[in-house]
Amino acid sequence: MSSTPTPHIGAQIGDIADKVIMAGDPLRAKFMAEKYLDSPIQFNNVRGMLGFTGFYKGKRVSVMGHGMGIPSIGIYTYELFNFYGVKKIIRTGSAGAYHPDLNLGDIVIGIGACTDSNYAAQYNLPGVFSPTADFAMARAAVEKAESMSVEYKVGNILSSDVFYGDDGERWKQWQKMGVLAVEMEAAALYMNAARSGNQALCICTISDSLVHGTACSAEQRQTSFTNMMEIAFDII
């Protein structure tokens, strides 16, 4: 495949900026476009995966949904990096806390993404690949979070293929290795960025805690994680 539109993105070359902020929920992407972008224009509605391009403080930026799980974000970010000339992607997501000091609404900057997925097998590497964020983007996110005086942690996150796990205590095995939180997409994003020679970062807001048994509502997940969004827009 070498042409656009793709089977999953209905945009033409030039419709998408070279900097993209993504969210699992396409309605969160719509919320971000309406809240933060000047003159947003919708470029995608294929499969309901909304995408918009506009301007943030003079910078041309796109926002788009990526769906749930590694297979979904793997497709969308591959196409953005390889077919649409995108150079930077920030995933803004929700995550479940493994660390006892993380509370609802806190920010996690995923410098590395552990995974139980088999996504890396396609590369036929002679060992285990460690998916990592772009350091410059991670550093910029830390600096912005500190300027906003928001609670944050930087470290490893887990990109899991399983939401409803058969072993309800398995998360503790990741916790003992210092993994901060669990989400479902960052590892594939980081691998696609590495393979295509581009930059990526995952910033998550804690939406629930496996340690404390607390959780946000679906509406809060969609519209209230604005600290994470402001960090992403300012550093992209």
User: Which residue type does 112 have?
Assistant: G
* pLDDT one-digit tens code per residue, 169-203: 999 999 999 999 999 999 999 999 999 999 999 99
* Residue-level pLDDT at 219: 74
Q: What is the CA radius of gyration of the chain?
A: 17
- What average pLDDT does range 41-69 have in this prediction? 98
* pLDDT one-digit tens code per residue, 142-155: 999 999 999 999 99
Under DSSP, the state recorded for 119 is G
Residue 184, Ramachandran bin (φ over 0: left; ψ between -120 and 50: alpha; else beta): alpha
Angle at 108 between CA 104 and CA 110, to 5 degrees: 150
Compute the distance between CA of residue 204 and CA of residue 51 in angstroms, rounded to an integer: 20
Question: Buried b vs exposed e over 158-185: b needs ≥16 C-beta within 10 Å?
Answer: bbbeeeeeeeeeebeebbeeebbbbbbb
Total Cβ atoms within 10 A of residue 135: 11
Compute the distance between CA of residue 145 and CA of residue 140 in angstroms, rounded to an integer: 9
Q: What is the mean pLDDT of the chain?
A: 95
pLDDT higher than 80, residue 218: no
Q: Which of 80, 106, 69 is nearest to 203 (CA)?
A: 106
Is 101:153 a contact under the CB 8 Å cutoff? yes
Quick check: is 18 catalytic? no
pLDDT band (50, 70, 90) for residue 224: low
pLDDT higher than 90, residue 50: yes
Compute the distance between CA of residue 84 and CA of residue 81 in angstroms, rounded to an integer: 6
Domains present along the chain, CATH in parentheses: 19-235 (3.40.50.1580)
* pLDDT one-digit tens code per residue, 92-121: 999 999 999 999 999 999 999 999 999 999
pLDDT higher than 90, residue 46: yes
pTM of the complete model beyond 0.85: yes
Q: Do the strands 88-97 and 59-65 form a parallel or antiparallel pair, or are they unpaired?
A: unpaired
